[in-house]
């Protein structure tokens, strides 16, 4: 493992039966940096995350830096909305399983700017933005070094998206965390990511946003012209 790397992925291939979803994919992620993963639907972004956390069998090697603690923010939860499970239940469960103090849940809520009284509500009663913040708070319990975020702003209104993206970036800087973010919002990728991994049918590309988010390359990845808004203060070096 190279000094300063949080993650090294070496020639991984993931197959479902006869279908190859990821093929011979390699990339490194430096500690404390933000990697954005982009690509059209069905290109294997979530599959890559599942392989990274050991939930899917794969060929090739995935190496996390020694002692790495992962936090995961899923894209969506496959549960009924009317379950009597509250944010507090989730935060407490994560704390107990990770060996963290129960108070970490409250601190995580403060960190993501979610009122503590909202954690007493059932998760189905929370708005899209509140729920996504709760999921980030749950991921933070246990003090992760790396956050994997699978479209954390999906289903959140535009203002909420901006707040959440700022929050994730602030957490990365303040807590010296490494973040891996799946996003369809290329302006967010351009603004916040240090590196971009693009997955597309048949091939992948990796590099800084300026090199990857070019009209020609995006056309090749998405098979259609793609435009996005560039913020005045991005991209990151």
Chain residues binding other proteins by CB under 8 A are 49-50, 53-55, 70-72, 74, 77, 79-80, 82-86, 88-90, 92-94, 96-98, 120, 122, 125, 138-139, 142, 144, 148
Q: Which residue, among 191, 196, 181, 193, has the nearest Cα to 229 in the 3D structure?
A: 191
Closest approach of other proteins to the CB of residue 46, in Å: 9
Considering beta carbons, is residue 106 or 208 the nearer one to other proteins? 106
Shortest reach from residue 130's CB to other proteins, in Å: 16
Q: Which is nearer to other proteins, 49 or 206 (CB)?
A: 49
Q: Nearest approach, Cβ of 4 to other proteins (angstroms)?
A: 22
Beta pairing class for 34-38 and 178-182: parallel
Q: How far is the CB of 205 from other proteins (least distance, A)?
A: 26
Report helix, strand or coil for 230: coil
Q: What are phi and psi of 108, to 5 degrees?
A: -65, -40
Is residue 112 within 8 Å of 140, Cβ to Cβ?
yes
Distance CA 160, CA 126 (A): 14
Residues β-bridged to residue 5? 30
Q: Where are the beta strands (DSSP E) in 141-192?
A: 146-150, 178-182
In angstroms, the CA 93 to CA 31 distance is 28
Nearer to other proteins, 139 or 156 (CB): 139
Q: Are the C-beta atoms of residues 172 and 205 closer than 8 Å to each other?
A: no
CB of 201 to other proteins, least distance (A): 23
Retrieve residue 111's tokens: 């960190």
In the complex with other proteins, which residue's Cβ is closer, 151 or 191?
A: 151
Supply the minimum distance, in Å, between the C-beta of residue 63 and other proteins.
Answer: 16
| Residue among 85 and 226 whose Cβ is closer to other proteins | 85
In the bound state with other proteins, the residue whose beta carbon lies nearer, of 134 and 156, is 134
């Amino acid at each position: 493992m190279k000094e300063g790397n949080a993650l090294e992925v070496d020639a991984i291939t993931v197959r479902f039966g006869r279908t190859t979803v990821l093929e011979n994919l390699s990339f490194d992620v430096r500690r404390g940096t933000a990697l954005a993963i982009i690509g059209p639907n069905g290109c294997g972004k979530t599959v890559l995350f599942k392989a990274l956390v050991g939930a899917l069998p794969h060929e090739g090697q995935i190496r996390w830096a020694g002692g790495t603690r992962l936090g995961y923010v899923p894209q969506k939860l496959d549960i009924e909305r009317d379950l009597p499970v509250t944010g507090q239940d989730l935060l407490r469960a994560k704390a107990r399983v990770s060996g963290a103090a129960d108070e970490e849940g409250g601190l995580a809520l403060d960190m993501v700017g979610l009122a503590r009284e909202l954690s007493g509500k059932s998760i189905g009663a929370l708005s899209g933005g509140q729920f996504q913040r709760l999921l980030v708070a749950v991921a933070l319990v246990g003090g992760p070094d790396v956050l994997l975020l699978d479209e954390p702003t999906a289903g959140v209104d535009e203002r909420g998206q901006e707040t959440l993206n700022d929050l994730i970036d602030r957490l990365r800087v303040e807590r010296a965390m490494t973040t891996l973010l799946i996003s369809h919002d290329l302006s967010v990728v351009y603004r916040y990511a240090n590196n971009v991994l693009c997955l597309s049918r048949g091939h992948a590309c990796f590099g800084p946003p300026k090199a990857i988010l070019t009209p020609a390359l995006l056309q090749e990845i998405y098979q259609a012209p793609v435009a996005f808004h560039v913020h005045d203060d991005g991209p990151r070096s």
